[in-house]
Each structure stands twice: as C-alpha cells, then as structure tokens.
Structure 1
Amino acid sequence: MIDTIPGLLDAAAGEFGERTFLRVGKVTRTYAETRTAAATMAGALAGRGCRPGDRVAVMADNRIEVVDLILGCAWLGAVLVPLNTGLRGAGLREVLRGAEPQFLLAEEEVVERVVAAGFQGELWVVGGDDVPAPGVSHARPAAQVRPDDTAFVLFTSGTTGTARGVRCPHAQTVWWGRNVADSLRLTSDDVLYTCLPLFHTNALNTLAHAMAVGASCVIGERFSAARHWERVAEAGATVVYLLGAMVPMLVAQPPSPADRAHRAWRGLSPATPGTAWEPFRDRFGVTLVDGFGSTETNLVIGSTPEDQRPGYLGTVREGFAARVVDDGLHPVPDGFPGELVVRSTRELAFSTGYLGEPRPAPDAWRRTGDRVIREPDGWFRFVDRIKDVIRRRGENVSSQEVESAVRSHPAVADAAAFPVPSELAEDEVMVAVVPGPGHLLDPRDLARHCAGELPAFAVPRYIDAVLELPLTATGKVRKAVLRERGVTATTWDREASDPGPRSLPV
C-alpha cells in the first residue's frame, strides 16, 4: 500500500500523467511534470548540501517555489518546516530554536526578521540567483523514506499559548489525502481551490487530497472576502477550502453577480457556525462539509455533502475512535459536554508527537482541547475550545454559542465572545462585534436579541463594535488580543447605571 509522499506522487503521475495537477500563479503543471519537478528539486537541494533528515524551513506566501520545496524535500527525504509568515521577534526565535533548520527559504520582506531572530544556517531569498529550483540539476530517484519518517514539522497556531512543533510523518499526509477525498466525494474531474496558507495543515494537505484521486489543485493568493468568488471562478474550481471564520465574512459581503458565477458546489469548512450554513448554501450554491481534524491527528470526525447536520462536526470516520470525557478522563453520557479524545486504528494516520517529546503509543488516546457533545445517534457537536470556555457565576458559557446568537442579529457581520474579569470573581461575557455593511450597532437591541436566544447567564454584559476581528493568518480569531484589550472607554456595559449611547462607534 502507498504510504509515503513520493510514493503517492509517483503513483498519481503513473496513472494521471498528462492531467493537470497544479496551478500556482502563472505556472501550470501536469502530474508527470510535477513528478519531474520534485525529482529535479531534490537534486538541486542535494547539490546545496541538503541530506535526508535535514530540516528545511520556508517563510513565504503561497507561490510555486513553496510547492517545489514541499515536494522536493519529500522526494529527497528532507524535513520541511513551514513557518507562519506573520512570525517575528520572540515567537520567531522560539520556533527557529525548536526546529533547528539547516536551510531556510524566505520572502525578501521577512529576511531581516529571520536574521534578527538568530538564524545561522544557509538562507535563500525568494527570487535570488542562489535559490535551489527544479529543472536545473539531474533528477534524483525518490529516497527510500519510511512511512513513519517525518515529512513536515508544523507549528501549532499559538493563539492561546506557546507554539509547539508537531512531527508529521509521510503516512499521515497520505491518510489525509484518502480521508478528505472520501469525505468530499472527490473525483479526477474535480478542481480544488485553496487560498489558505501553505504553512497550515489544511492547505498543505490539499496536494494529497488531489493526488489521491487525480484531481487538479489551484493554490491561490491570500484570502480576500471581496474577491473570493471571482478567484474561485477564475480557477474553474468545483471544490473550495475555507475555515469557519471566513464563512460569516463572505455572507456579510454585499450581493454580487460573482456569488453564483462559479462551478463550486461543495467545500471543506471546519468550525462553520451552524446559523451560517444554510444562508451560505442558499446564496452561493455551495454545500459546506464540516469535520474534526487537527495538525496532530487526521479527519477523525466528518460528514459528506449528502449527509449534513448544520452546526455539527459529523460522525466518527472509519479507522478512528472518539470519546467525550470529563476532567478525570472518564467518559461522560451522550448529550453532556466534555473534552474530545481521539484514537486511530490506521497505522501512522496521526502525528508522531511534538518536537523534543517521546512518540505516543500508536493506540494512545489523544487529547484535543476541544469541548464537544456527542448525541445519542453518534453525531458530534463542537461547543468550545476548553481554554475559551467562559465561567460566569458558577455556569460554563460556550463562547461559540454566544457568537452564534450574536451573529444571528441582522445588523451583525461577525463576532467573537471572550471572558473578561468580573468584580464578583470568575468572568463576565464580552463580545467584539463587526457590524454588517451599512449598519450601526445598537447594543441595547443586540442585548435584547441575545436574551431571546441565550440563557440569562450567557447574555453578554459588555459589547464593543470593531471594524474587524484580529485574525491569525489561518483565519482563527486571536482571542488573546481581545482579552488583553478588555473593557475600554467605548465599551457598552449592560449593567451600568447609564449604559451609554444607542449606537457604538466603530
């Protein structure tokens, strides 16, 4: 059975040789051409002294050079370390110290940051004459990599704490390809479009999704809500890749002829707000498929285009197991919230652990940090990240449920709920709200609306209007930034003797 990235690419090139596999910017390649590019890129890397097992970091936007490095390193047996392009200062120093790459490819605008962070290896600048490139050296045979050899070290987003380097073996990427291809019902006629960054597991593994069935893959520029559907149409895409936070942003855009002027009819969109699922499908004609998967695991829980339940992750996929447990890791009954723990019965479908830590046992249960509910019929519903749960007067408040209620107000485009300190101990509920186009935010009206949608203890006390939410490069809300800012002079307070104006400044 194929269980390495070179094996997957070689098999796909053998079966789908002249089919278009890849489009990045102005570059288009068939499967056969991509295999040749990987083999010659491996030769170019070897010519620069890179050996199997060496770590090669990359800090660049979505571009063909990054794809060449991904596949060339895999072909050679080197380990790719994709770095978030937003990293700087202490955060960048930390990941470089943890990964210890011998080589690094960087965009010109981040070179100064990389040098300041103390990188001591060989530095290549995108566009420079010294950058290894396919087609300029002799092709190398694919390295004899093992399924458990590390293909990538991916750093977790670090939105709630220190980023950790995850060791992702070759076999994990191959399983990602098979599992997502099955969930999305992909075929060789599909064109996949992603604008997510290639340093994120979602976009990185899109290449494997395509290779699993012989589909085409279009790697786009950074996400733009205003231009998204135009780019989807230009790509000729039948499948789109989003993150849940992007869905309300697209729905909030003014109606446009581009909304339906495309071929896409399904998309992978983890953590899609339940209230946005039907409006999204009705407006854009795209059925969103949710699921649970993480950098450390795989698509453990998921749904399919034909089997949907808005607001739910799905059911456990073949080859995996999932439980909901309490703080003592004891199973909780269906219908009650707890932490999701997962296990794989597919060999090497999960990561081999974190840098600097021992490998987990192959059949070990993995903690996820996600608070979920399992329904009696086996469907899982996401409640919150455990670190994002708000504790107010003895009650646990789900930030996601608060956000869902706030977003259902017609004047709201997007929202983020988070805890702020209470004078009574524990937390108060605060929301940062992005008003929809042409709307002023009336906090009194929004609070009344929430009172009709939420239990009294979950209704936000504090409301702020903001132009946009602080996001990571992968579209996750940086709640640490919102918590640090907290209550300001312009924040509306529902419990104040004089709550303030009827509309909030943005």
Structure 2
Amino acid sequence: MERMTRERDFTDPRIPNRDECVLRYLLDRWANERPDQPHVVFADGAEWTFAELRDKVRTKAAGLRAMGIEQGEHVAVWLPNGPDALIAFYAINYIGAVFVPFNTAYRGQLLQHVIANSGARVLLVHPDLVPRLHEIDLGRVERLVVTTGIEVPEAPRPIQRFDELAGAADETLELARPIEPWDIQSIIYTSGTTGPSKGVLSSYLHMFSNAGPESWPMVDENDRYMCVAPIFHIGGMGPPFVMLARGASVAMIDNFSTEDFWAVAKATQSTVVFLLGVMATFLLKAEPRPDDRDHTVKKAFMVPLTGDAPAFTERFGVDIYTIFNMTEISSPIVSEANPTKIGTCGRVRDGVDVRLVDRNDCEVPIGEIGEMLVRTDRPWAMNSGYNANPEATAEAWRNGWFHTGDAFRRDEDGYFYFVDRVKDAIRRRGENISSFEVEADVCSHPAVREAAAVAVPSEFSEDEVMVIVAPVPGQKLEPRQLAEFLIDTMPYFMVPRYIRILDELPKTPSAKVMKADLRKEGVTSDTWDREAAGLRVRREKFSA
C-alpha cells in the first residue's frame, strides 16, 4: 500500500517515480524497506542482501567520484560476468554516470572503435584483457581501473586497483541534481556481426520498460531470474536492473552450460530463465534423466519459440513464454503462457504500436511480410539513438518510427511471426526464402544441435542455399542423409544445395551466430554439394 500512496514525482502518469525506475533510488529504497532480503546470488553460494549490496556500491561509487567521475560521464567497463562487473555497473549508475560495457571478445580495430565511440576517460578492465590495449589507440582514456587481486601486466595507462577503490561516501555522493528517468543509464553496443558496433543510448526508463512489471507481468517480486548472458549484452545487464525494479533477486552465472544448467538453477533457487537461440534445443536434446523435473524453475522464455516447446514443458515441467525484443526497443511483442501457435513471438503488448511495412514504409496487408516498425506511448521507453552516430539514428528513426530491420508477418488473430533479418533473406529461383525457417527445419532433425542458413552465389543467378550445422554430441551426421530428410520435409526451393558440418558454429559471446563470417567463407573445401552428389530436387515432386 505504501507504493500506491507515495506522492508522485511527475504529473505524467506514464512516467514512474524515480524510486521505481532509477537505479540509485531503487537500491536505496529496497535497502531501507527490505535490508535482509537477497538481491544477488552466485553459483558458488555467495549472496548479497539489498543492504549489503548498497554498502558495497556506495564504497565503489565514492571511489569513482574521488577519481573525478562526474554525473552524466561515460565510464567504460570491459569485464566478464562476476561480482566486480555487477558492482561496477551499480556504482557507475549510483553517481548518475553512464555504464558503457564492452564485449570481452573485442580486440584490434573493433575494440578501438568502441573505445573511441564511448568517449570514456576511465576504463574498468580485467587484467587478462590489458595486453590487448597495447595493440590500439586508447583515445581519450586516461586511466585504467583493473579488477581482481592477481598481478597486473604492464599497461599503457596509469592503473588504479578496483579492490582499492574507495572514498568517503557521505562526503562525495551528493548529486548536483536528481537522476531522472530520462537520463542515459547505459550504452550497449550491438553485436557488430555485420559491421561496426553501434552504441545504443538507453535511458533508465527504457531499461525499466524493456522487461519491467508492465512489459513482463508474468515475472513478479517473488521470482529469481537466472542470468547466464554476459553483462555487456542487454540480456546480461537488463535482468539485475529489472529485478531490482521489482524488489526481487537475480542469480548471476558465468555462462550457459547444458550439463550443469538445471543443477545450477536448483542450487541458486532460480524460478525464471531465458533460453536464447539454441539453448532450449541443447537442453532438450541432452540425454533424459530421472531428475529432469527436480529443479525450482517455473517459467522460461524461449526465443525463438520452436515446435519443441510442448516437449520441453512436458519433460521439464516449465511454463513457456516467448517475446520479440532487441537492444533498441522494449519487448513490443509478448506471448501468453504456453502459446499453441508454434513459431509465434506473441502479440503486441499494451502501450506499444507496431506496423509491418514495405520498403517505402507503407503498411502491408495481414499475412504479407514486412519490416517491423515500433513506437511506444510512454516517452523515453525506447532507445535515445546511437551514441555519436546521428546518421544511423536518423536512418533507424525515419518517419517517427523505429525500424527494427526484421521482417515479420502477422495473422488474423494478431500473432506475429519472425521471418528473417531483412539483410539475411535469401532469394533463389525467384522465391524469397527465410533463413530462419530453413534453420528451424534443419534443426528438426534429431541429430542436429544447431544450424545457420546463408546465401552463397549461384552460377546461374540470385542465390544458392547453404546450411552450416553442428551435430548433437555423440551422434553422427551425414550430409546426404540430412539432405534426404529435408527433401521430404521442406518445399523444393528451400532444400539446401550445400551442407557443411562443424563441431560448433562460430558465435559472439552474446550467443549470436556469426553469419557474416560464414557467408564470407562461402563454399569451403569441406562443404558437401547436393547437386554434385547427384541428389537433385524437382519442382514436380511438390506440385499440388
């Protein structure tokens, strides 16, 4: 009741109070109201209550302020998941500075690009990553804050140790002005799989709207969200923040492991998990065990939603939800529990407008494919543009709508279905082919763990379809046998001509398959050619 009767900070009812959506005030609020309740647990059994976490955060925040970090300043963070990364995230926001994490796989020109784009004077970095800094121009970076207690290699800038970072909190943490919901909270860089990474400017209100109580009503204050995504990804830094908004908790895990997933979920008492890409496939194709339901997970987000969803629920006893989201937007499409329309992303949630359009931004009819455009009723509930990149901002936000670059179709019941990234679409023999749909059919083979479909040049015109697949561990997969399986399950024009088998598909640390690299490699010496093998597909086989 206290929350309902609290005096409002803003007259616009669409804008939550500061202590509902701004990290500093949220942390102070819960440390006062729920001091002994855990907010963060780790795989090793350690946990921090709201009060303990606030003390740690205030100490580091005071240290940052003592270094001269000002409200609104960008602070770069180049750390793997762990306690230091989370404390750095919260401490930076606690003084109203902007959290700017980098992908730990970056190096060379890409690393130099994001450092320059960030405009940061201070870089928090793990000692194992310091040698890569010698390879590049550090631009405006003046000082490195190095984590962990191990010996630090020679560095190209003066060093401050994170474990020694402290200050007089009461004297240094006063703000020049209140931190507002529309202030920039973070800059999250896109994956950069098809070009230079763009820094997405996100306000506190954008992060709150992304997966907060209104966007994800199925997650509440009694849940614990198990986070396995890296903290430099929206899927890694978003969960602690949105669970903080609920006064709830998060389990911070280093990375996803098929073998240990359910045991870690049980050990951390996690109730909500997010299964991105092939994670659900990995778990379902693992050998069944008698304790498959012996865990605490109640809800799972499966993205994308595959035909395996009912089997997943039956085996593991978990309710399945799905969504469509990306770093720049705020979960515009969300499903109900256990959706029966396999392949859907859900329907438009309240407070969001969605259109599917052609290349001229003209809306397409129901059932036809168009690029998804999004806008929200709430101000600042989506990205505030791309950092230091006005051209990309203007292009993405043309005509007053954010252009996702993703192609969808919508059915008569209002359900949306992802078709492809606009740039990943394949055109073969006059037919437009969804790489996403090709991959879904390929992954339906019991021996396939994951797949990527790409276009490669045809000797005739347009494209040929190539799939790169990784088998389920311990199972043998032959290209011809897979091709014969697909001939019986796919339209003739979608059946891949080329099949390449790898142990693992190349991915970014945020678990995105690096299709641009696979497309660039093209038809390699270890690629099987269906037509060269004499296995041809005729149109007549599929005629009505």
Pairwise TM-score range, normalised by the shorter structure = over 0.9
1:67 aligns with 2:86: yes
Q: CA deviation at 1:13?
A: 3.1
Could you say which residue in structure 1 is the equivalent of 2:22?
4
Provide the rounded CA distance (Å) in 1 between the counterparts of 2:338 and 2:246: 19
Paired residues for 1:372-411 under 5 Å: 372-411=408-447
Q: TM-score, normalised by structure 1?
A: 0.93
Provide the rounded CA distance (Å) in 2 between the counterparts of 1:177 and 1:338: 25
The 1:17/1:176 distance shift into structure 2, 3 A limit, reads farther
Contact 2:215 2:349 in 1 (8 A): no
Q: Match of 2:212, SS?
A: helix
Q: Match of 2:531, SS?
A: coil
* 1:296 counterpart (311, 328, 342): 328
Could you say which residue in structure 2 is the equivalent of 1:475?
511
Q: Deviations over 1:105-142 (max 9, x none)?
A: 11111111123222232101112572166775424246
Task: Look up the equivalent residue of 1:283 and give its one-letter code.
Answer: R
Provide the rounded CA distance (Å) in 2 between the counterparts of 1:438 and 1:170: 46
Provide the rounded CA distance (Å) in 1 between the counterparts of 2:407 and 2:39: 38
Could you say which residue in structure 2 is the equivalent of 1:130?
161
Provide the rounded CA distance (Å) in 1 between the counterparts of 2:410 and 2:491: 21
Q: CA deviation at 1:499?
A: 6.3
Contact 1:268 1:290 in 2 (8 A): yes
Contact 1:184 1:305 in 2 (8 A): no
Provide the rounded CA distance (Å) in 2 between the counterparts of 1:306 and 1:93: 44
Q: Which runs of 5+ in 1 are unaligned?
A: 501-506
Could you say which residue in structure 1 is the equivalent of 2:210?
176
Could you say which residue in structure 2 is the equivalent of 1:34?
53
Task: Look up the equivalent residue of 2:178 and give its one-letter code.
Answer: Q
Q: Match of 1:383, SS?
A: strand
Task: Look up the equivalent residue of 2:63 and give its one-letter code.
Answer: A
Q: Deviations over 1:46-94 (max 9, x none)?
A: 0111111221111111111111111111110111110000001111011
The 1:455/1:419 distance shift into structure 2, 3 A limit, reads same
1:145 aligns with 2:179: yes
Q: Match of 1:205, SS?
A: helix
Provide the rounded CA distance (Å) in 2 between the counterparts of 1:486 and 1:152: 37
Provide the rounded CA distance (Å) in 2 between the counterparts of 1:195 and 1:391: 36
Could you say which residue in structure 2 is the equivalent of 1:46?
65
Provide the rounded CA distance (Å) in 2 between the counterparts of 1:363 and 1:385: 21
Q: CA deviation at 1:177?
A: 4.2
Could you say which residue in structure 1 is the equivalent of 2:248?
215
The 1:357/1:206 distance shift into structure 2, 3 A limit, reads same
Contact 1:196 1:242 in 2 (8 A): no
Q: CA deviation at 1:356?
A: 1.8
Q: Which runs of 5+ in 2 are unaligned?
A: 1-15, 150-159, 537-544
Could you say which residue in structure 1 is the equivalent of 2:493?
457
Paired residues for 1:44-443 under 5 Å: 44-119=63-138, 120-128=141-149, 130-131=161-162, 137-139=168-170, 140-141=173-174, 144-179=178-213, 183=216, 185-257=218-290, 259-272=292-305, 274-305=306-337, 309-358=341-390, 364-443=400-479
Provide the rounded CA distance (Å) in 1 between the counterparts of 2:65 and 2:220: 35
Q: CA deviation at 1:207?
A: 1.3
Q: CA deviation at 1:174?
A: 2.0
Provide the rounded CA distance (Å) in 1 between the counterparts of 2:32 and 2:317: 35
* Identical amino acids, percent of aligned pairs: 36
Q: Match of 1:349, SS?
A: coil
Q: Match of 1:333, SS?
A: coil
Contact 1:389 1:399 in 2 (8 A): yes
Contact 1:184 1:304 in 2 (8 A): no
Contact 1:44 1:132 in 2 (8 A): no
**How large is the RMSD of aligned CA atoms in angstroms?**
2.3
Q: Match of 2:460, SS?
A: coil
Moved more, 28-37 or 71-80: 28-37
Q: TM-score, normalised by structure 2?
A: 0.86
1:23 aligns with 2:27: no
Q: Deviations over 1:347-380 (max 9, x none)?
A: 1111100012457789921000111111111110
Q: CA deviation at 1:307?
A: 5.0
Moved more, 229-238 or 299-308: 299-308
Q: Deviations over 1:388-441 (max 9, x none)?
A: 111112111101111111111122222111111111121100111112233222
Could you say which residue in structure 2 is the equivalent of 1:504?
none
Task: Look up the equivalent residue of 1:59 and give its one-letter code.
Answer: W
Q: CA deviation at 1:257?
A: 4.5
Contact 1:166 1:354 in 2 (8 A): yes
Provide the rounded CA distance (Å) in 2 between the counterparts of 1:44 and 1:229: 38
Provide the rounded CA distance (Å) in 2 between the counterparts of 1:104 and 1:305: 42
Q: Deviations over 1:206-260 (max 9, x none)?
A: 0122123222111001112222222112111111122123222222322335532
Provide the rounded CA distance (Å) in 2 between the counterparts of 1:287 and 1:150: 34
Provide the rounded CA distance (Å) in 1 between the counterparts of 2:409 and 2:379: 27
Q: CA deviation at 1:26?
A: 5.3
The 1:497/1:27 distance shift into structure 2, 3 A limit, reads closer
Q: Match of 1:242, SS?
A: strand
Contact 1:37 1:135 in 2 (8 A): no
Q: CA deviation at 1:485?
A: 1.9
Provide the rounded CA distance (Å) in 1 between the counterparts of 2:22 and 2:425: 39
Task: Look up the equivalent residue of 2:123 and give its one-letter code.
Answer: L
Q: Match of 2:120, SS?
A: coil
Q: CA deviation at 1:7?
A: 2.6
Provide the rounded CA distance (Å) in 2 between the counterparts of 1:92 and 1:426: 35
Provide the rounded CA distance (Å) in 2 between the counterparts of 1:182 and 1:112: 42
Q: Deviations over 1:315-365 (max 9, x none)?
A: 111111101111111100111111111011111111100012457789921
Provide the rounded CA distance (Å) in 2 between the counterparts of 1:323 and 1:80: 32
Provide the rounded CA distance (Å) in 2 between the counterparts of 1:385 and 1:221: 29
Could you say which residue in structure 1 is the equivalent of 2:532?
496
